[in-house]
Amino acid sequence: MKTVTCFSIATLVIGLLLSCGTPTSVPPTATEPDTTEAVDVEITQKPVPLPLSEPGPYYVGKLTLDFEDASRDNRPIGIRVWYPAVLPEGSTGSKLLAGEKRDPDSSGAPYPLIVSSATMGADLAPYLVTYGFVWAGVTRIHTYPDMNPEMIDQPLDILFALDQIASNPPEGLSGMIDADHAGAIGYSFDGYNTLAMSGARIDPEYYLAQCPTPDATTQAILSVGSFDCGPASAWDEFAAHAPEVITSSDDGLWQPMTDERIRAVMPMAGEGWWLFGDRGLAAVDRPTLMIVATGDELYPENALIFEHLGTPDKTLISFVGQDHMMVFNAELRARMAHFAVAFFGYHLQGREDLAWYFSEDFVAQHDDLAWGVYAGE
């Protein structure tokens, strides 16, 4: 799977992202919760299951909606929605198996909203929904091999989905969704989409300066990713795909492609250094949890991005010895889900007890995880 690039806004509320509120800071050494279910720290060859990898109390329903974005030539946008649901009488089965159009379970409503591609949703949405979230995943967006207008269209699609779900909840889900407390998550190509929603700002001057000869910093992180110099030969044409409200600038940087309702982001194994550079990443202003494998060819770039994020509330958790394809491993995906439940539960649901589960002390209990930039043996 190659990573890709994408940018976004569909209703983006740009610029003054301070209205997101003051994010809660997670202490690097959170207090372990008092629980009778001890954390398994046994070292084995097989990834040790993490506590929040197990399903929560809710069952999962799903439905699919179809829209057109009139502001972009009626671009078709499908949205798959996963939500807490009531298990039909007489039904059995795993909580992670979503049922079509099940009756919603409103017992804990309204639930915070998670946005992503439907590809990411298919992997992780059921886990988070069982813990009291609604998830909106955009269909028809996928990885791409080279930089192209999808870098603009895909994030716009995701933000369009956020706006649609917020302003026009699906039938039967009225009162179920707290879209004012939303999180963005993505892996690989969708990891860039997520980073674009962190408050980061595109730096055209930096990107164009890398083409055709990258500086030492960019040269050091070149890999098999999707970033290249393609758009540099026709930058004005490429930039025209973004609304003028984003590309207009007093300081040379594009405006942040995000929405004030997105309060925490979780980009995993993505890209973005070429387009943001240090100035653009310094603008990141909301809690950010990055996950990447140490054997991923994109690891050096992810480490570079992490070190330059402007937000003081940032975390990098490395999966030691894994590679970019770890997303296809069900046990490792379940571990990613653990961290997503803890991170978004803390920041969007206000559950302080979940801070422990993505803290430095928790990570230190697992020899195949590393806190911060991994320095090797």
Burial class of residue 20, CB neighbours in 10 A (0-12, 13-18, 19+): buried
* pLDDT for the residue 91: 86
**296 Rama sector, left if φ>0, alpha if ψ -120 to 50, beta otherwise:** beta
Contact between 310 and 355 under an 8 Å Cβ cutoff? The reply is: no
pLDDT in tens, 38-50: 333 333 457 888 9
b (16+ CB within 10 A) / e for 168-200: ebbeebeebbbbebbbbbbbbbbbbbbbbbbbb
256 pLDDT higher than 60: yes
Q: Which amino acid is at 124?
A: L
Q: Please count the other Cβ atoms lying within 10 Å of the Cβ belonging to residue 274.
A: 24
Topology adopted by domain 38-371:
Rossmann fold (3.40.50)
Closest by Cα among 356, 272, 340 to 8: 272
| Average pLDDT rounded to a whole number, residues 78-85 | 97
User: What are the C-alpha distances in Å from 90 to residues 86, 93, 98, 130, 215?
Assistant: 12, 10, 16, 19, 63
Q: How far apart are CA 143 and CA 161, in angstroms?
A: 19
C-alpha gyration radius of the chain: 20
Q: Please count the other Cβ atoms lying within 10 Å of the Cβ belonging to residue 49.
A: 13
* 300 prior amide bond cis, ω within 30: no
Mean of the per-residue pLDDT values of the chain: 88
> SS3 letters for 36-66?
CCCCCCCCCCCCCCCHHHCCCCCEEEEEEEE
pLDDT in tens, 126-180: 999 999 999 999 999 988 888 888 888 999 999 999 999 999 999 999 999 999 9
Tokens of 368: 């195949």
Q: How far apart are CA 174 and CA 165, in angstroms?
A: 10
Q: Pick the residue with more confidence: 108 or 375?
A: 108
Contact between 319 and 332 under an 8 Å Cβ cutoff? The reply is: yes
Tokens of 195: 């980073």
**220 Rama sector, left if φ>0, alpha if ψ -120 to 50, beta otherwise:** alpha
Burial class of residue 16, CB neighbours in 10 A (0-12, 13-18, 19+): exposed
**Helix, strand, or coil (residue 279):** helix
* pLDDT for the residue 47: 81
* pLDDT for the residue 321: 96
| Percent of the chain clearing pLDDT 90 (strictly above) | 76
Instruction: Break the chain into its structural domains and give their ranges.
Output: 38-371
Closest by Cα among 93, 85, 216, 77 to 153: 77
pLDDT in tens, 181-218: 999 999 999 999 999 999 999 999 999 999 999 999 99
The pLDDT confidence band at residue 32, using thresholds 50, 70 and 90, is low
Q: Pick the residue with more confidence: 372 or 89?
A: 372
Q: How far apart are CA 127 and CA 52, in angstroms?
A: 9
The pTM (predicted TM-score) of the whole model is 0.88
